[in-house]
């Protein structure tokens, strides 16, 4: 059975004929009772502190477990994000390559059209130069013919000279 400080204080010894000094016993019991009370209070305080610390350890253990789970989840999420980013970058690169190929193909088609246009323009220039040369040769032949006619018939010259003027006046 456990004794309390009050039990020690209230305990009375039976008296015998040749017993101990009652005042000394009571003083000693008082000292023991006070020391015992201090020890009980310290024990109770330490027990309370132990409960608080155990509760804190339990909270910290739960927090540690939660943090570990969070770290695992964050790592998995990070890995998923990396994989997703990698896939997205691969898709973007593939799309960019397709777009570049389309642009390259379009530029090749445009270059081919421009080359064809240049060939057509050169051919047109050649045809125009030939037509102009032919027209010039025709006109030179006419000038030569007119010069020969003028040299051979001075009267005709005057009629030819007057005829266009009168016809332009009539018009």
Mean local confidence (pLDDT), 27-42: 85
b/e per residue 127-151 (b: at least 16 CB within 10 A): eeeeeeeeeeeeeeeeeeeeeeeee
Number of domains into which the chain is organized:
1
Mean local confidence (pLDDT), 59-86: 95
3 state SS of 18: coil
Mean local confidence (pLDDT), 40-47: 92
Q: Give Cβ neighbours of residue 88 (< 8 Å, ≥ 6 apart).
A: none
What pLDDT is stored for residue 18 in this prediction?
73
What pLDDT is stored for residue 147 in this prediction?
83
Q: Which stretch of 19-33, 59-73, 150-164 has the lowest confidence by average pLDDT? A: 150-164
What pLDDT is stored for residue 14 in this prediction?
74
CA–CA distance, 28 with 96 (Å, rounded to integer): 98
Q: Identify the domain containing residue 109 by its residue range.
A: 5-12+20-170
**Crossing angle of helices 22-152 and 154-170, rounded to 10°:** 130
What pLDDT is stored for residue 168 in this prediction?
47
Report H helices in the chain.
5-10, 22-152, 154-170
Q: pTM above the 0.85 mark? A: no
């Amino acid at each position: 059975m456990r004794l309390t400080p009050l039990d020690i204080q209230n305990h009375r010894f039976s008296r015998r004929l040749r017993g101990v000094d009652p005042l000394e016993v009571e003083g000693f019991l008082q000292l023991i009772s006070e020391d015992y009370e201090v020890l009980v209070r310290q024990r109770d305080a330490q027990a309370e502190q132990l409960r608080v610390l155990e509760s804190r350890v339990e909270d910290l253990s739960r927090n540690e477990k939660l943090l570990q789970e969070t770290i695992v989840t964050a790592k998995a999420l990070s890995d998923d994000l990396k994989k997703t980013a990698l896939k997205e970058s691969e898709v973007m690169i593939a799309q960019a390559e397709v777009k570049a190929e389309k642009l390259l193909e379009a530029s090749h088609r445009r270059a081919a059209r421009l080359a064809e246009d240049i060939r057509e323009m050169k051919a047109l220039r050649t045809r125009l130069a030939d037509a102009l040369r032919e027209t010039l040769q025709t006109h030179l032949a006419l000038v030569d013919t007119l010069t020969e006619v003028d040299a051979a018939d001075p009267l005709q010259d005057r009629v030819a000279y007057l005829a266009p003027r009168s016809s332009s006046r009539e018009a």
